[in-house]
Structure 1
């Protein structure tokens, strides 16, 4: 089984939580909250700090203005989206985050099993994640919720997926995440352009 994590603060308790989750232990220091602003309305996503200056999250979290919160607040310097048909993006921070402390919120986790994605093929519940790049998860009475998008799917302390969402179909079909493995070359080339992603 794999683990998911989502930050929950008092501002977003009702909008951002894993359905059927439990409190995480304090080892998830790399989890951040991404706040997007559009027309004065805030949206919330999760993200994973994969480098002191880079956050991995879902592309559909992008709006006009983005801010990343861990213990400190920082602004986004540059946004790099694989392309519009893939729900994965990297956010370059305006300054490196160093000395990360445990997330001071009620971080929710859940253990789920990797399952066949066939039930999600024609489902209206998901964002436009190419079928071949989906990593689907299911567990009785556990699911992602609105606002969980962008959070990491973790196995043995490695990020294997980015939560794309389950829409309104809570607990009826597998949760869809973006399988990070096909994007590793792009991630490395984006973060380390001079070394050509090696």
Structure 2
């Protein structure tokens, strides 16, 4: 695997894009507080999107989602069980208040909907879907890509997690809220969620459970598909670890929110986006990427059955160039302003 060096804020995004999981506009002092949540500041969660149906009154908000590449949104399958004319739906990116879209917001139509082939509307198994947008969005301080973790990330060890969405702010409220809500939550062991006093075995192994056992803070109607994110324990970026799936009621004690694990479906996501599945990974590098794709030559067999050293030398030169270019762009603050495509690769740990 290539040697990856550079800015620790530059982490491998699933689709091979230059940055992900960054919050350039967030004043994150660890006190950020969806039912029981608070209004989010503009740009606080720059990957969240509002998925809107043409038949809905008001803002049209149906579900949330997360931008994982400039042209792909990850969301929940159950948002589309009765979907018709999907190309007439729209996706709003970079918004905080849905009734007053600022100049930073971008609106796209949906080119295609890809629902997991084994999704069950009865058990909510495999509750995950992808939306391909009709045109890529332009990343900015208000619009960034979410980081989707592969199998090497120890999600259970992440301690600083948040939910966000435009869903109902009370359990009895009708319709979504206008201003994006956010709340801090804890990841809860699945055994506790599946206990006889909670969901009694209804939670699947590919789910995550989050919230507070005593209730009070939760996702609710209209938050479906929205992100559950956790801050990396050793860096400033966030991981998109879950997609809001289901729950019984809102904010009820022992009825925590259930989320689809993005890590579990990492290879499925890659395949749907036309990228090659990940190989088994292994220890966190600090990657850097060129601003244009670079092809690293593979070692070529020699007549004696060994490998020639020339391609290896070329590879090392490419790596050095990559590292120097990253330092150059990083010094200009470029990383917070664009999602620059690069060749896809697997995150090696």
What's the TM-score, normalizing by structure 2?
Answer: 0.45
Q: Deviations over 1:98-137 (max 9, x none)?
A: 134638x6321111111132122456xxxxxx61111011
1:117-156 paired onto structure 2 within 5 Å: 117-118=193-194, 119-121=198-200, 131-139=204-212, 140-156=215-231
Say which SS state the counterpart of residue 112 (structure 1) adopts: strand
Name segments (4+ residues, structure 1) moved above 6 Å.
none
Q: Does 1:76 align with 2:93?
A: no
- Which of 147, 162, 165 aligns to 2:246? It is 165
Say which SS state the counterpart of residue 63 (structure 2) adopts: strand
* TM-aligned CA deviation for residue 27 of structure 1: 3.4
Number of equivalent positions? 171
* TM-aligned CA deviation for residue 163 of structure 1: 0.4
Contact 1:148 1:165 in 2 (8 A): no
CA 1:101–1:75: 2 relative to 1, 3 Å: farther
Say which SS state the counterpart of residue 61 (structure 1) adopts: helix
Partner Cα distance (1:73, 1:169) in 2 = 30
What's the TM-score, normalizing by structure 1?
Answer: 0.77
- Which of 17, 22, 41 aligns to 2:38? It is 22
Partner Cα distance (1:185, 1:196) in 2 = 5
* TM-aligned CA deviation for residue 74 of structure 1: 1.0
CA 1:68–1:121: 2 relative to 1, 3 Å: farther
Partner Cα distance (2:277, 2:211) in 1 = 36
Partner Cα distance (2:246, 2:39) in 1 = 20
What CA RMSD, in Å, does the superposition of the two structures yield over aligned residues? 2.2
Aligned residue number for residue 97 of structure 1:
137
Partner Cα distance (1:183, 1:46) in 2 = 18
Q: Does 1:67 align with 2:146?
A: no
* TM-aligned CA deviation for residue 174 of structure 1: 0.9
Stretches of structure 2 lacking an aligned partner (at least 5 in a row) = 1-33, 94-104, 121-125, 144-177, 232-237, 279-345
Bigger radius of gyration among the two: 2
* TM-aligned CA deviation for residue 43 of structure 1: 5.4
Say which SS state the counterpart of residue 189 (structure 1) adopts: helix
